[in-house]
Amino acid sequence: MIASTQRTDIEKATNGFLSRWPIGVVAVFFLMGGLAHFAAPETFTRAMPAYLPFHTELVYLSGAVELFGALLILLPVTRYMGAILLILLCIAVFPANLHMALNAGQFSSIPEWLLYLRLPLQAAIILFIWFAVKQERSQRVSAGTDGDNRDTRSLTVVIN
Digitized pLDDT (tens) for each residue of the chain, 160 residues in all: 455 555 555 555 545 555 578 999 999 999 999 999 999 999 899 999 999 999 999 999 999 999 999 999 999 999 999 999 999 999 999 999 999 999 999 998 899 999 999 999 999 999 999 999 987 666 555 555 555 544 444 333 444 3
CA distance 141 to 149: 10
Sign of the four-CA dihedral 60, 62, 68, 70: negative
Distance of CA 45 to the CA centre of its chain: 22
CA distance 144 to 113: 46
End-to-end CA distance of the chain: 35
Domain boundaries, given as residue ranges, for the chain: 2-143
pTM: 0.75
